[in-house]
Amino acid sequence: MQVTLTAAEAIIVMGVAGSGKSTLGEALAQALTCPFMEGDDFHTPEAVARMRAGIPLTDDDRWPWLNRLGRAISEELVRHGIAVATCSALRRAYRDRLRETIPARVSFVLMDADPKELLRRLTARKHHYMPASLLVSQLDTLERPQPDEAAIALDASRPPAALCEQVVAWLAKREK
């Protein structure tokens, strides 16, 4: 399914670690032929070191990260009109900050998964700084998007191609 957006839009794939944000984000960017930004790439080395050590980030750690990511998304929107990014965006306040920073429509795709499956994925994952020990902290922090937010929740256990099709169909339906 092809979708043509009538206005600039940022699509942010959100959720806790191990939910499949990056996998879906890359597939979605390819399907929409637009840039993809990995939110983890915008963390400072200090923040990565804290997480690697099993120390959850504080809001003071997150605000500058959200600002950097929001500015980068905004720059891509100027060039391409659409961009896909990943960001945990666990709290409403974090999503609000992204919406404040990005001067366009911002839509969120929540990757929803069973905690046992998330733990399995995190323990099987290689070469990533986020330890499985931070999963409980992330799940405790997660505030699901509310009806007044442009958001869709997906079952992260489904195949990435099916999830991608679901998001594209959701975007197309909103454009009608």
Q: Do you know the residue count of the chain?
A: 176
User: Which band of pLDDT confidence, cut at 50, 70 and 90, is reported for residue 4?
Assistant: low
Q: What is the CATH number of the domain that holds 120?
A: 3.40.50.300
Residue range 62-118, pLDDT digits in tens: 999 999 999 999 999 999 999 999 999 999 999 999 999 999 999 999 999 988 887
> Has residue 2 been placed in a domain?
no
Residue range 144-167, pLDDT digits in tens: 999 999 999 999 999 999 999 999
> Has residue 142 been placed in a domain?
yes
- Nearest 5°: phi and psi at 4? -115, 120
> Has residue 19 been placed in a domain?
yes
Counting the structural domains of the chain, the total is 1
> Has residue 13 been placed in a domain?
yes
Nearest to 163 by CA among 41, 37, 26: 26
> Has residue 162 been placed in a domain?
yes
Q: Could you say which DSSP state residue 39 is in?
A: G
> Has residue 80 been placed in a domain?
yes
* Range(s) of the domain holding residue 167: 9-175
Indicate the angle between helix axes 21-32 and 160-175, nearest 10 degrees: 50
Q: Taking the alpha carbons of 52, 145, 158, 26 in that order, is the dihedral positive or negative?
A: negative
Sheet holding 151-155, edge to edge: 36-37, 82-86, 9-14, 105-112, 151-155
> Has residue 21 been placed in a domain?
yes
Nearest to 170 by CA among 146, 152, 155: 152
